[in-house]
Amino acid sequence: MKRALALALLTLLPLPALAQATGDLGLVVERASGSLLLVDRSDRAALTRIEGLGDLSHASLTYSPDERFAYVFGRDGGLSKVDLIDRKVVARTMQAGNSIGGAISDDGRLVAVSNYEPGGVKVFDAGTLAPVADIPAEGKTIGLVDLPGRRFAWAVWDTGEVFTGDFSGAAPVVTSLGIAGVNPFDAVLTADAHTYLVGLFGEKGVMSYDLWSPETPPQKFLTDYGKTGEDMPVYKMPHLQGWAFTEGQFALPAVGRHEVLWVDSETHADRGATPVHGQPVFIIAQPASPYVWVNFATPLNDTVQVIDSRDHKVVATLTPGKAVLHMEFAPRGAEVWISARDDDRVLVYDTRTREKLAEIAAKAPSGIFFTARAHRPGL
């Protein structure tokens, strides 16, 4: 009884203004309930749930430079600004009918959203979420990343065209980089902002753009990969945000195959393939290590594998839970947090022992985003 009273009081009292440091916090997307779980990395615990964010399937988010605010890109076109200290949504706009992701400019002033319906890129003031620019496209935009100098890059699924947009001046300057190929499904920027890789779904291959010397013609690679074998149906689009760059190589998901592909990051020469448990979805490099971690598309999505990038061998196979959707590393690599959607759990693993350290209850968790992302380009 006393307990119930205390609980009731707790829920009635307004939350005190907490002066909590945010450097070890993170947000977990709870896709079915339209909520975010605020987590503390050091305590390996959930702090609170932030609700009212709409349709969060496929949702992603990015952080302000001071790691106080998260910009959440919902599938339903909602753009929400969440305050990690006051633990609530502080601004929200329905900016399109259907959107897929976004990015924040290098100076933290602009937030760009990539939309499916109507297609295009919309840019907002990071402070107020007031609209700043609207760049229509002839189709669904994908692979939006930030480039240095208040610029962004993106591609269009329907036409295959790739663009950069410069928002540093009074009016935006949009430049076409040409056609990457048939149906680009995602794109990613290397951490040095040198190479923009555009993965193709409608044909074999990956197009590589040299953003340091834009006059260099783009290079297509992996074009004849697997032409002999029969490809399997793709039940989940692989993500490229997680493409790993390690040991001078790109580790790429083979679309429609149970393989991770290794490509020389300088010459784009084929460096081999690793047979894996299923169709890779995310391939993520464990920071400060030679390892990459891979999760898989349904129905083989209860498993995570660890591959050594030096010899391309699988060194560990874990089964963290049902429907593993995402993995996020502590910025220095000591831990990895793994979401198991159908177990309603986030699992914390030690990356050295690969033993489970903790479990955190979450409602159908998908993406996990630590605030350290605030300081990484292309995220």
Stretch that binds ligand HEC, among 75-83, 107-115, 156-164, 231-239 (CB under 6 A): 231-239
Applying CB under 6 A, among 133, 220, 235, 356 the residue interacting with ligand HEC is 235
Residues in the chain, total: 379
Give the separation between CA 102 and CA 39, rounded to whole angstroms.
22
Question: Residue 235: what residue type?
Answer: Y
Q: Would you tell me how many other CB atoms lie within 10 Å of the CB of residue 124?
A: 22
Applying CB under 8 A, among 167, 201, 225, 349 the residue interacting with another protein is 201
- Residues of span 269-298 touching another protein by CB under 8 A: 298
Residue 234 within binding range of ligand HEC, rule CB under 6 A: yes
Q: Smallest distance, Å, CB 235 to ligand HEC?
A: 5
Residue 133 within binding range of ligand HEC, rule CB under 6 A: no
* CB-neighbour burial class of residue 63 (10 A; exposed 0-12, middle 13-18, buried 19+): buried
* CB-neighbour burial class of residue 176 (10 A; exposed 0-12, middle 13-18, buried 19+): exposed
Instruction: Write the CA distances from 202 to 142, 157, 183, 223, integer angstroms.
Output: 14, 9, 5, 12
Q: Would you tell me how many other CB atoms lie within 10 Å of the CB of residue 42?
A: 10
Residue 235 within binding range of another protein, rule CB under 8 A: yes
**Residue (56 or 113) nearer to another protein, CB:** 56
Residue 157 within binding range of another protein, rule CB under 8 A: yes
Residue 158 within binding range of another protein, rule CB under 8 A: no
**Residue (99 or 208) nearer to another protein, CB:** 99
Applying CB under 8 A, among 24, 40, 55, 210 the residue interacting with another protein is 55
Q: Which of 111, 87, 57 is nearest to 374 (CA)?
A: 111
Residue 341 within binding range of another protein, rule CB under 8 A: yes
- Of all residues in this chain, which one has the CB nearest to ligand HEC in the complex? 235
Q: Which of 222, 287, 285, 229 is nearest to 258 (CA)?
A: 229
The residues binding another protein (CB under 8 A) are 31-32, 55-58, 75-76, 97-98, 100, 116-117, 140, 157, 183, 185, 201, 233-237, 298-299, 323, 341-342
